[in-house]
Amino acid sequence: MRDYERKPGLKEGILNILFPRRCPVCDDIVPVGEGSICSCCKAKPQYIQEPRCRRCGKQLSDDAAFLCGDCMRRKHVFDYGYALYDYQSMRKSIYRFKYKGRCEYAEFYAGDIAERLKDALELMGADSIVPVPVHASRLRSRGYNQSALIAAELSRLTGIPMYDRLVKRVKKTVPQKELNIQERQNNLKKAFHISSDVVKLNKTILVDDIYTTGSTLDAVALELKRHGAEAVYFITLCIGEGM
């Protein structure tokens, strides 16, 4: 039984009655004792399987392929990373988590990452987890950084320290989904800054919610490597199909 699916104690059972847990997939109330996800939704998340791109983690259709088309066409600053879900299967869940205040989903997401990507996390041998930051204005309007919520839970489960104030987003950028690849890269120039109180990190895992082109992760990885990081990996919840 996974840590986040343990049977509830008396105190937790009372809390579940007063503040019912909602399923991270369908958002319906989860009956007490069913864990973090309702029984009807356990088969709905579509997980990225092998073969996957050795750089960005996208699902591949060719067993002999090493990289996806995207990663063959462009270089990345990050070393490599993994995504957990196919975007289409969890897009409604991610939307509620990101924009509708469903912060409690982070516990389920991090538990899924810790279990299903356990071997990958161990091979990375990271000494730090860093959430991709949001701009201060967006943090004020939304009230939270969704990536930091996942990173905090993942840190708790793995024991890898999280540094959520190390990287700051100092430039308010246009939403990336509205831009093409070149525009995304230009949009993120000088968008991130490493705090003066820098911690010496050798191997870092960046945590974000969605991988689209990797431009945001590259921009953060560039700053980390400029400040001495040996390797920068990433974990994201979702990833789409290659271009």
For residue 12, is pLDDT > 60?
A: no
Cα 37 to the center of its chain, rounded Å:
19
More confident residue, 10 or 134: 134
CATH fold group of domain 46-239: Rossmann fold (3.40.50)
Q: Where in the chain is the domain with CATH 3.40.50?
A: 46-239
For residue 183, is pLDDT > 80?
A: no
Residues pairing with 239 in the sheet: 86, 211
The pLDDT value given to residue 4: 46
Burial pattern 204-233, b for ≥16 Cβ within 10 A else e, equals bbbbbbbbbbbbbbbbbbbbbbeeebebbb
For residue 2, is pLDDT > 60?
A: no
Q: Residue 27 corresponds to which tokens in the numbers above?
A: 């958002």
8 Å CB contact between 174 and 231: no
